[in-house]
Amino acid sequence: MKITTATFISSYADVKKCPAPDKPEFAFIGRSNVGKSSLINMLTNNRKLAKTSVKPGKTQTINHFLINEEWYLVDLPGYGYASVSKSTREGFGKMIEEYTTKRENLDCLFILIDPRVEPQKIDLSFIGWAGAQGIPIAIVFTKADKLKKNELQKNIAAFQRALLQTWEELPPMMITSSEQKAGREDILEFIDDVIEK
Ligand code: GTP
Ligand code: MG
């Protein structure tokens, strides 16, 4: 799929204020600093569309970007960062919970995973929770440029093994590097397939 236009639409903490749910929507979630905003910029070929930072906790709201006037990409705040309310169930954050469970046009939630570290409890727990909620998910391994190919494969295999302890079937998985623009076509084709269905 070709992206011809990518336009910032809105930034809200309240899911009720988000644009009308009348278009296909694809959102990015994962631990703070995993590279959600960078991935949106990579996909849209616009380094300045979503705000990124070396410091975790940059994205604090639900950000809608309209693509080709037809569908939405959504940048979300990260989970697992200290500023997220501890009182919220599972510690994922109320905004994330509300958005992911109430957004009726959400066609796929891409859960971003940093493959440099061993499988993290919070990621496995979030994936388990999203699955139990019936949210359609796909896994995206980010920052692939930071690992040697064999290390990357080894760590991804370890993550898949961890998932298979509770999942009978693995969700769709993609490998990306925003730095090297790798995995772009895989994600765009995946989105295209979901929209066409
Ligand atoms: P929050 O909004 O804080 O939750 O973070 P985020 O998940 O949106 O991460 P962001 O895109 O802001 O990126 C965090 C840091 O990782 C930045 O310094 C990026 O430049 C860096 N980064 C993101 N993707 C990649 C990648 O593919 N490769 C490398 N080497 N660095 C990356
Ligand atoms: Mg961000």
- Per-residue pLDDT tens digits of the chain, which is 197 residues long: 999 999 999 999 999 999 999 999 999 999 999 999 999 999 999 999 999 999 988 999 999 999 999 999 999 999 986 544 554 444 568 899 999 999 999 999 999 999 999 999 999 999 999 999 999 999 999 999 999 999 999 999 999 999 999 988 999 999 999 999 999 999 999 999 999 98
* AA identity, residue 43: L
Pocket of ligand 1 (CB under 6 A): 32-38, 52-54, 56-59, 77-78, 142-143, 145-146, 177-179
Domain count, the chain: 1
Flag whether 40 is in a domain.
yes
* pLDDT of 82: 58
**What CATH number is attached to the domain comprising 61?**
3.40.50.300
Flag whether 147 is in a domain.
yes
Flag whether 86 is in a domain.
yes
Flag whether 1 is in a domain.
no
Nearest residue (CA) to ligand 1, atom 21: 35
For residue 54, the ligand 1 atom closest to its alpha carbon is 18
* pLDDT of 46: 97
Distances (CA, A) of 45 to 4, 14, 113, 180: 10, 28, 21, 12
Flag whether 77 is in a domain.
yes
Q: List the end-to-end C-alpha distance of the chain, in Å, as a whole number.
A: 15
Q: What is the ipTM of this complex?
A: 0.99
- Structural domain for 26, as ranges: 6-196
CA dist., res. 90 & res. 72, Å (int): 27
| Mutation pick for ligand 1 pocket among 31, 53, 146 (CB with most ligand atoms within 8 Å) | 53
* pLDDT of 86: 54
- The Å distance, Cα 111 to ligand 2 centre, comes to 13
What 8-state DSSP symbol labels residue 146?
A: G
- The Å distance, Cα 10 to ligand 2 centre, comes to 15
The 106-113 sheet, strands edge to edge: 6-12, 62-67, 71-75, 25-30, 106-113, 137-141, 173-175
Distances (CA, A) of 122 to 32, 55, 80, 126, 127: 12, 19, 7, 6, 9
